[in-house]
Amino acid sequence: MFGQNLEDVAEFVGLQGTGHQPLPPEQLIGKWIDVLRTAQGLIRQLPDAALNERVVANRDRSIRLMCHHVFRVGEAFLESVVDGVEYAVQLANVPPAEGTFTTGDEIARYGESVIARLQQWWDKLDDKTCQQKVKTFFGMQPIYMLYERSTWHSAQHARQLTAVLEGRGIEPKARLKPETLAGLPLPERLWE
């Protein structure tokens, strides 16, 4: 059993669900775009010279890769739900090509293209219940499951970016709003 769908895990261990109340799909798109726009601002505040430093000392991930990843999560989602690519963990972890995305502005512009594509996907989506199935490494799942997971995944990394800025003594000009995060099943701790 894969632990990617927590409702499946709860059922497997004999519980009556996780207690999480999923948000309506039409609320998620606004939250996800708010998260990505906030991330763009945070990324633009980071000194370009710091992008190749580690996000945290005990993890082998550069700030540059995490900044790119915030938006790559959305691109991987679109590749699955629009292009039919099977969703796998490594799909969201495809790094940028060597020598690309070397400045915060360049990464933020990449984010703009992902935001535009997400909005276009939502605007053209005929069945906004998001119950259509998508192929994942843990079986066929409703689009909603991947949609919600991708939204909170981007949000978690945006929370981390805020901490990265603060750790460098930089006051974030924009922060994730409590109403944006409300209802998302985020990990309690920042580095989980």
Tell me how far apart the alpha carbons of residues 187 and 16 are, in angstroms, rounded to a whole number.
21
Note whether residue 4 is domain-resident: no
Identify the three-state secondary structure at position 135: strand
Distances (CA, A) of 42 to 6, 24, 45, 157, 158: 30, 27, 5, 11, 8
Structural domain count, the chain:
1
pLDDT at 15 over 80: no
User: Is 186 within a domain?
Assistant: no
Whether the predicted pLDDT of 19 surpasses 60: yes
Range of the domain at 91: 24-179
Average pLDDT over residues 178-188: 94
Tens of pLDDT, residue by residue over 106-115, are 999 999 999 9
Q: Is residue 3 part of a domain?
A: no
CATH of the domain at 57: 1.20.120.450
For the chain, give the mean pLDDT. 91
SS3 track for 103-119? CHHHHHHHHHHHHHHHH
Number of other CB atoms surrounding residue 165 within 10 Å: 19
Task: Indicate whether 184 belongs to any domain.
Answer: no
Q: What does the pLDDT look like over 22-63, one tens digit per residue? A: 899 999 999 999 999 999 999 999 999 999 999 998 888 999
Please spell the DSSP secondary structure of 19-44, one letter per residue: ---PPPHHHHHHHHHHHHHHHHHHHH
Task: Say which residues have a Cβ less than 8 Å from residue 26's Cβ, sequence separation at least 6.
Answer: 128
Stronger pLDDT, 14 or 27, i.e. the higher one: 27
Residue 130 belongs to a domain: yes
Contact of 2 with 141, CB cutoff 8 Å: no
Question: pTM of the prediction?
Answer: 0.89
Per the domain annotation, does 12 fall within a domain?
A: no
Q: Is residue 185 part of a domain?
A: no
Q: Is residue 15 in a domain?
A: no
Q: Give residue 146's identity as a one-letter amino acid code.
A: L
